Structure 1
Amino acid sequence: MKLAGKTDVGRVRQENQDDYRAGELPGGAVWALVCDGMGGARGGREASQGACNVIENVFQEQYAQCGAGQEEAFLKKALIYANRFVFQKASHEESLAGMGTTAVCALVRGGTVYLCHAGDSRAYLFRAGKLTQLTHDHSYVQELVDCGTITVEEAEHHPQKNIITKALGVDYRLEPEFTSEKLQKGDVLLLCTDGLTNMVPVDQMEKLLVQGPFYDTPDRLIEAANANGGSDNITALLLAVEPTEVEHG
């Protein structure tokens, strides 16, 4: 696997409340994580960084116990640990009250990507020139789309697009969503915050993903988001599947 990531404050916000992590694991596996904090100037940053720290520690200290077929339980546990950490910190520090963070976490091994998420940070699969969203937004606007109240096109510019229905740290209980997808050689996974998806249409992202060297792709995506307004923090994290990972699993 090849990994490339970047985060940027954007053109409007005063500070960057996004965070991301990624790393290699035993047996040729890799993991990746993107978080988008919310809840005031200090709270958003504390939430995203705290969640990333907890999830990174779970991978470092407990991944060895994640056997075949245990990927869902392992990823959900990582996000639930992070949820409790952020919730308890927000409960004990008045200046952090109400903070939370989205999270989208990927584990790639054995030719499959396993995904666990909460909120509206997304995971996409780029295959044969087409970008497909793998995660389902936990947002008020997505619920309106799901029940047929508004169209996908109307959702793009809905005034309440920023209302999240699930996030880490908001409630002591969390049920993150899990999904998985078989990978093929040449596939690219994109994990990103809404600072990218709200600014750069899918068709533009598809063009940018094939324009130049893989390791420059996060820069190209962020440059496009800023050129289109840069109204939020922007994070793009990419994982490219090389042939040997899938063929030899």
Structure 2
Amino acid sequence: MKLAGKTDVGRVRQDNQDDYRAGKLPGDAAWLLVCDGMGGARGGREASQGACNVIERCFQEQYASKCLPGEEETFLKKTLLSANRFVFQKAMQDEALAGMGTTAVCALVRSGRVYLCHAGDSRAYLFRDGRLTQLTHDHSYVQELVDCGTITVEEAEHHPQKNIITRALGVDYRLDSEFTCQELQNGDLLLLCSDGLTNAVPRDQLEQLLGTGSFYDLPDQLIRTANENGGPDNITALLLSVEPMEVRNG
């Protein structure tokens, strides 16, 4: 597996409230995380960075002992809950950070599958055979309108309340994160990103970029394209490539 990622402030915002982390794990596994903070410049940064720090520490210190086969959902949900409580308590202790929160989309890749846990509208996608498939379901007001048939997917793309999210880390002591998993194949690309990418780069353009670029250049290319399209928000793109296993003779 290969990993590559980048974050950028964009063309409009003064501060970058996105954060991301990724790393290799024992047993040819890997983890990836993207967070998009909210609650003002300082609050958004504190929320996303704080959540990333907690989740990274959970993978470093607890993964080997607490994420045995079959325990992926429990481990990921508890990990996001730990980050949620950290951000919530920090916001309660500092008036300047009141109301802060962050989205989170976290992936664990091992044994031919990706396990995903998320809250908010940061997304995970699978790119396979030239086609991009969204693996996560947005926790947003506009997505709820789509789900109940009030508006179409096309109308949702330009809805004025598109930025209202219905779940996030840090806004409540409880957290209702969502879990899903997907089988992977050799040659697959996994993309985790903030809405600064998906709001600026249409799906067909994402597919074109992912299908033609060199892997380690892809984060730069995706962010450059989002900025060329206006860069209205912070942009984060984090990628994992599922590599074919080497065949050794002799």
How many residue pairs get aligned? The number is: 245
Equivalence map 1:80-95=2 (5 Å): 80-95=81-96
Distance across 2 between alignment mates of 1:120 and 1:209: 21
Measure how far apart 1:41 and its partner are: 1.2
4+ runs deviating over 2 angstroms: none
Measure how far apart 1:212 and its partner are: 2.3
Distance across 2 between alignment mates of 1:13 and 1:212: 27
* 1:28 aligns to 2:28 (yes or no): yes
CA deviations over 1:60-103 (Å, ceiling 9, x no partner): 00001211000000000110000000000000100000000000
Which amino acid in 1 is paired with 2:134? Answer: Q
CA deviations over 1:209-244 (Å, ceiling 9, x no partner): 122210000001001100001000000000000112
Measure how far apart 1:166 and its partner are: 0.1
| Aligned residues with identical type, % of pairs | 81
* 1:185 aligns to 2:186 (yes or no): yes
Which amino acid in 1 is paired with 2:142? Answer: V
Structure 2 partner of 1:50: 50
Structure 2 partner of 1:112: 113
Equivalence map 1:169-180=2 (5 Å): 169-180=170-181
Structure 1 partner of 2:140: 139
CA deviations over 1:147-185 (Å, ceiling 9, x no partner): 000000000000000000000000100010000000000
Distance across 2 between alignment mates of 1:177 and 1:170: 16
Which amino acid in 1 is paired with 2:145? Answer: L
Distance across 1 between alignment mates of 2:173 and 2:100: 13
Distance across 2 between alignment mates of 1:211 and 1:220: 10
Equivalence map 1:149-188=2 (5 Å): 149-188=150-189
Which amino acid in 1 is paired with 2:141? Answer: Y
CA root-mean-square deviation: 0.7
Equivalence map 1:165-244=2 (5 Å): 165-244=166-245
Distance across 2 between alignment mates of 1:235 and 1:229: 15
TM-score (ref. length: structure 2): 0.97
Q: Give the match's secondary structure for 1:19.
A: strand
Distance across 2 between alignment mates of 1:238 and 1:14: 25
Which amino acid in 2 is paired with 1:35? Answer: C
Distance across 2 between alignment mates of 1:23 and 1:144: 36
Listed as ranges, the gaps of 5+ residues in structure 1 are none
Q: Give the match's secondary structure for 2:213.
A: coil
Listed as ranges, the gaps of 5+ residues in structure 2 are none
Q: Give the match's secondary structure for 1:27.
A: coil
* 1:68 aligns to 2:32 (yes or no): no
Distance across 2 between alignment mates of 1:211 and 1:185: 17
Distance across 1 between alignment mates of 2:211 and 2:189: 10
Distance across 2 between alignment mates of 1:218 and 1:18: 14
Which amino acid in 2 is paired with 1:203? Answer: D
Distance across 2 between alignment mates of 1:73 and 1:232: 33
Structure 1 partner of 2:128: 127
